[in-house]
Amino acid sequence: MTSIRTRFYRDKVNGKFMGVCAGIADYTGIDVLWIRLTAVVLVFSTGIAIPAYFAIGFLAERKPPALYADAQEARFWQGVRQSPARTAREVRASFRDIDRRLAEVESFYVSSNPRLSAEIESLR
């Protein structure tokens, strides 16, 4: 997965300090409040949380401003990052549904129009 939409970015627009927690929330699809609460708990329970936060803050790239067109696209890419196989199955199922509906439309128009039916059969 080399798409720019599957990489981790720090989100300065929605972030409070360096955008690390907002970036993790965007990447995983978990609400940013839970990520921030986890970060606070880690700060008080371990000594590694603060250096790790700053390391991620300095090493991670900023989120491009027009990364997603809308919220639905953002949710799709979060699903791709979480489970690519599940997302592929969902897309495949969606295409099967579209194909089935298109076949229904085609059969409706062909069954009511014998001339069109003959033309389609001659093309096959």
- pLDDT tens digits for range 28-81: 878 888 988 888 888 888 878 888 888 878 887 777 777 776 777 777 777 777
Predicted TM-score (pTM) of the model is 0.57
Do 22 and 43 lie in one domain? The reply is yes
Share of the chain above pLDDT 90, in %: 5
Do 91 and 116 lie in one domain? The reply is yes
Residue 1 clears pLDDT 50, i.e. is over it: no
Quote the CA–CA distance of 61 and 117 in Å, as a whole number. Answer: 57
pLDDT for the residue numbered 88: 82
Do 54 and 32 lie in one domain? The reply is yes
Do 118 and 72 lie in one domain? The reply is no
Number of domains in the chain: 2
Q: Which domain holds residue 123?
A: 84-124
Name which residue leads in pLDDT, 57 or 93: 93
As given in the structure block, the two tokens for residue 61 are 């790239």
Do 45 and 105 lie in one domain? The reply is no
Do 8 and 45 lie in one domain? The reply is yes
| H-type alpha helices, the chain | 20-28, 32-45, 49-59, 71-82, 84-111, 114-123
